[in-house]
Amino acid sequence: MRTAEAGGYRKVRIEGYVRLLPDSPNTGELAPLNEFNDFVLTNAPNSTQEEINERNRVINKMQGIKGFDPLSNFISSIPAEKTVGEESINIFEYSNNWFPIDGKKHVCCGKLKKFQTYNGSGAEMDWNIFIEPNDEFSFLIDDVLKYKDPEWATKAWNGEWRSGGWHINKETGGYLLEGELTPDKSFYDNLFFPNSGEKVENIWGHVVTKPNIVLLEKEICLYGPWVRERVHNNRPEIHPSEMIWWREGKGYYIMLLQDDSNRFDNNADFGFLGGSAPSNWKPWTEPPLTAQFKIAFKVNPSESGLPQEMDIREVYNRFVVTKEDTDASADSDNGTSHALVINNKNLLVVNEQQKNDNDLGVKSVDVSKRPDGTIQGYLQITTIVGGPDLAGDEGYHVLYIQKK
C-alpha cells in the first residue's frame, strides 16, 4: 500500500487501484487505475451548495465552460505600451496605453454584436470582437466607466475621437466590450473569424474588413487581460483575447490563440512606471501560453443508455507544445479513451481523437454527488502553445468537443 498527499486529499493505492478515503475533503480529481484506462471513484463526495451554484453559473452564463490560465492569470498593474507616431505622442504625451483594471485576466461572456478585422501598423492585424456582456459580466464595462473622459472628443485633433473611443450598442445605446487579438498569419482565413469580406471606412477613417460570420448574435466567451485602452478614452477590453469558446449544437468549440501583434511579448513592451516587475509576472503573451478549459458535465447513474460519451477533435493546430510539460500533458489515466467509473458503474467516456496524445492533458476534476444522486464534475482539457522564436513561433490550438 502507498499513501500520497495530492490536491488536498489522501490517495491510497491498494492492489493497483486508487480510491478516495471516506473522510477526504471534496477535491474531485480522480486517481488513475493502471490496469484499465479508467477514472475510478468510490463514494463520490457530496456536492456543496457552492459547487452546485457554480456549476449552474457556468452552464447558464459561461456556455458550460470555465477557461483559465493556471500559470499566468496574474498580470499585475504594469501597463503595456503602445507604439504610436511622433505626432500622437506630442499631443497625448504618453506611451503607456493598456492599463490592467485589477491585475488579472478575466472571462467575458455575452452576445457577439459585431466582428471586424483591422490591418494596422507593423504586425497588427486585429480581430475586433464586440461583445454585449451578459449580466454576470456587465461589471467589466461598468467598473471602467469612471476612467472615461466625457470631454474626450473635444480634446482630440480633427475630431478623430469624436465617438470617445467607446463602442456603442446601436440597439440599446449602451456600451460594448471589445476583445482584440492578432492571430498568426496562417490563421487569418479560418472558418470562424476570417479576414475576408466587405471593406469599409469606419468613423475614425480607418479601413476595416467586415466578414460575414455565423457567430453574430450568438453567445461566446473570451478570456484574457482585462484592460482599459488609454488612447481610446480608456475603453474596456479583453486584450489580447487568448481564449475563445462557445457552445455549438451538442458540443463546444474551444480556442487557445497566441497574439502575434508583437506588442505584449517581452519586457520592452511594458512600462514599469518607475518600478520593477513582481517575481511571478511575465509578459502577457510570452511563450509558452497555457489554457485550461473545464467543461461541465452531469450524469444520472440510474439513467439508461450509459455511459455518456464525448469526443475531442482537433480542428486547427500550430506550435502545440503541451508534451514539453509533463504535468500539463498528464491525463487522469493511460491511453486516449478515458472512462469515469463510480461505484463500479461506467458513467462517462471521453475519447481523444487528436493526432498526438501528448498535445492534451485530459482529466475529470471537481467530481461530486448532488442531493438527487446525480454526479456533477468537469472535463478538464489542458493545452500549451508557442515556440521560443517571438518572431515566428506563435501558436494556436482549436478543438471541438462533441457530446454524443
**Whole-angstrom distance between the N-terminal and C-terminal Cα of the chain?**
38
Give the 3-state secondary structure of residue 56. helix
- The pLDDT of residue 247 is 97
Cell of 34: 493502471
Question: Up-side HSE of residue 132: CA atoms within 13 Å toward CB?
Answer: 15
Alpha helices in 62-143 (DSSP H): 86-92, 139-142
**Cα 364 off chain centre by:** 18
- The letter for the amino acid at 234 is N
- Where is 49: in which H helix or E strand? helix 49-61
- The pLDDT of residue 397 is 98
- The pLDDT of residue 226 is 98
96-119/80-81 β-pairing: antiparallel
- The pLDDT of residue 200 is 87
For the ranges 129-133, 197-201, 272-276, 376-380, the lowest mean pLDDT is seen at: 272-276
pLDDT at 161 over 50: no
Assign 86 a pLDDT band (cuts: 50, 70, 90).
very low
Q: What is the rounded average pLDDT of the residues 347-362? A: 96
Length of the chain: 404
Nearest to 30 by CA among 380, 363, 382, 378: 363
Average of per-residue pLDDT values in the chain: 85
Integer Cα distance of 100 and 104 in angstroms: 7
* pLDDT per residue as tens digits for the range 70-85: 999 999 999 998 865 4
Q: How buried is residue 379: exposed, middle or buried, by Cβ count under 10 Å (0-12/13-18/19+)?
A: buried
Neighbours of 150 (CB within 10 A): 8
pLDDT at 252 over 80: yes
Q: Which residues contact 337 (CB under 8 A, 6 or more apart)?
A: 37, 349, 350, 351, 352
Q: Cα separations (Å) of 248 from 41, 58, 60, 251, 352?
A: 30, 16, 15, 5, 19
Assign 37 a pLDDT band (cuts: 50, 70, 90).
low
Give the 3-state secondary structure of residue 299. strand
Q: Which residues contact 404 (CB under 8 A, 6 or more apart)?
A: 250, 308, 309, 310, 311
Assign 6 a pLDDT band (cuts: 50, 70, 90).
very low
pLDDT at 270 over 70: yes
- The pLDDT of residue 26 is 39
* pLDDT per residue as tens digits for the range 285-343: 999 999 999 999 999 999 999 999 999 999 999 999 999 999 999 998 888 999 999 99
